[in-house]
């Protein structure tokens, strides 16, 4: 749908999705490059003179986020915000030593050009995060700049055959009407992605409702893939969301909903599909 037909909240959502997809790729780029050079513990790496690879301000902020929500951030890189990622990538020595090849094809004027594009996206992200007015032009920039950056990263991976043999649409997050939001970093990458739905004191029973949705890497166009929600191998909905009204037939201590993403390509990462999550919950019998 053209941007001018969207509401203010929908425009913010479009911008947010594209910037969050970019953050996913930036985290991957940083982690792959610095792990290769310094090992998995690059966050605490320092040289013989005691100089750390990453400045203390970022280390402290990331450490605080990991300590506050350890289940959400299994790795330190997962707790970084886009401003942290931009600082790391555009730090002159790190850019020259590790990150230049990812971006030099698309951003020919170098690190300063790249930093100016990132700064624009950070300003838009701040507007979106605080529900401030976001213009159509802001959304256009979020879409174009994010996609340009992601395409540049993908090209580097493709050219170097670095774990990018399967360029497929991925599920980046899951959310539901209970207030749960789970990011892809919280489940193990692979064909057995699973979420155990923590409903607290809530017990699903026939007649109860739940709305669930997934977010896909926005560098893939909507017409490049399909999303299918299934229960017991029966498709119950298509698209980014499903709303379930439980019935007596759904009573099951091991009730499971699958969200499966399949590209339009003739081949698929897992034979017949490209990404999947399994949402586990319990549906109890009716009270009477």
pLDDT band, residue 40 (cuts 50/70/90): confident
| The pLDDT value given to residue 211 | 94
pLDDT band, residue 191 (cuts 50/70/90): very low
Query: Would you say residue 157 has pLDDT above 70?
Result: yes
| Beta sheet of 194-196, edge-to-edge order | 194-196, 275-283, 252-263, 225-231, 234-238
DSSP per-residue codes, the chain:
--GGGS-HHHHHHHHHHHHHHHHHHHHHHHHHHHHHHH-TTGGG-B-TT--BSS-HHHHHHHHHHHHH-TTT-SSGGGG--HHHHHHHHHSHHHIIIIIHHHHTTT-TT-HHHHHHHHHHHHHHHHHHHTT----HHHHHHHHHHHHHHHHHHHHHHHHHTSS-S-----EEEEEETTS-EEEGGGS-SSTT-EEE---TT--B-TT-EEEEEEEE-TTS-GGGEEEEEEETTEEEEESSEEEEE--GGG-EEEEEEEEEEEESSS--TTSS-SEEEEEEEEEPPP--
| The pLDDT value given to residue 168 | 86
Query: Would you say residue 279 has pLDDT above 70?
Result: yes
Contact assessment for residue 260 and residue 273, using Cβ atoms and an 8 Å cutoff: yes
pLDDT band, residue 188 (cuts 50/70/90): low
Query: Would you say residue 91 has pLDDT above 80?
Result: yes
pLDDT band, residue 148 (cuts 50/70/90): very high
Query: Would you say residue 163 has pLDDT above 60?
Result: no
- Mean pLDDT of the region 87-106: 94
CA 163 to chain centre: 18
| The pLDDT value given to residue 106 | 83
Which range among 14-18, 69-73, 165-169, 222-226 shows the weakest confidence by mean pLDDT?
165-169
Query: Would you say residue 96 has pLDDT above 90?
Result: yes
| The pLDDT value given to residue 161 | 65
- Mean pLDDT of the region 11-38: 92
Query: Would you say residue 52 has pLDDT above 80?
Result: yes
| The pLDDT value given to residue 202 | 66
How much is the pTM?
Answer: 0.75
| The pLDDT value given to residue 100 | 95
What average pLDDT does the chain have?
88
| The pLDDT value given to residue 251 | 93
- Mean pLDDT of the region 142-155: 92
- Mean pLDDT of the region 147-154: 92
- Mean pLDDT of the region 249-261: 92
pLDDT higher for 175 or 162?
175
- Mean pLDDT of the region 108-136: 90
Contact assessment for residue 233 and residue 260, using Cβ atoms and an 8 Å cutoff: no
- Among 39-53, 82-96, 193-207, top mean pLDDT goes to 82-96
**Look-up of token digits 């009573």:** 251
Structure tokens at 105: 């094809």
**Look-up of token digits 């969207």:** 6
| The pLDDT value given to residue 192 | 59
Contact assessment for residue 1 and residue 139, using Cβ atoms and an 8 Å cutoff: no
Distance linking the first and last C-alpha atoms of the chain: 47
């Amino acid at each position: 749908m053209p941007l001018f037909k969207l509401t203010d909240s929908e425009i913010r959502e479009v911008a947010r999705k594209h910037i969050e997809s970019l953050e996913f790729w930036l985290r991957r780029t940083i982690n792959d490059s610095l792990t290769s050079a310094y090992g998995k513990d690059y966050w605490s790496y320092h040289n013989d003179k005691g100089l750390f690879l990453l400045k203390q301000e970022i280390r402290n902020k990331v450490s605080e986020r990991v300590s506050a929500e350890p289940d959400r951030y299994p790795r330190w890189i997962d707790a970084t915000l886009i401003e942290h990622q931009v600082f790391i990538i555009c730090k002159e020595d790190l850019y020259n030593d590790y990150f230049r090849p990812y971006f030099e094809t698309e951003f020919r004027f170098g690190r300063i050009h790249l930093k100016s594009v990132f700064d624009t996206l950070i300003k838009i992200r701040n507007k979106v995060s605080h529900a401030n007015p976001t213009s159509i032009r802001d959304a256009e920039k979020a879409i174009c700049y994010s996609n340009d950056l992601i395409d540049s990263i993908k090209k580097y991976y493709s050219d170097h055959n670095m774990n990018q043999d399967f360029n497929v649409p991925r599920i980046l997050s899951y959310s539901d009407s209970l207030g749960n939001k789970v990011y892809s970093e919280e489940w193990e990458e692979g064909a057995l992605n699973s979420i155990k739905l923590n409903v607290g004191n809530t017990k699903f029973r026939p007649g109860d409702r739940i709305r669930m949705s997934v977010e896909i890497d926005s560098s893939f166009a909507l017409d490049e893939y399909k999303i299918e929600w299934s229960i017991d191998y029966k498709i119950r909905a298509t698209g980014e969301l499903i709303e379930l009204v439980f019935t007596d037939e759904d009573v099951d201590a091991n009730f499971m909903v699958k969200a499966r993403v399949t590209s339009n390509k003739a081949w698929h990462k897992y034979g017949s599909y490209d990404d999947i999550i399994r949402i586990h919950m319990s549906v109890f019998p009716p009270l009477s």
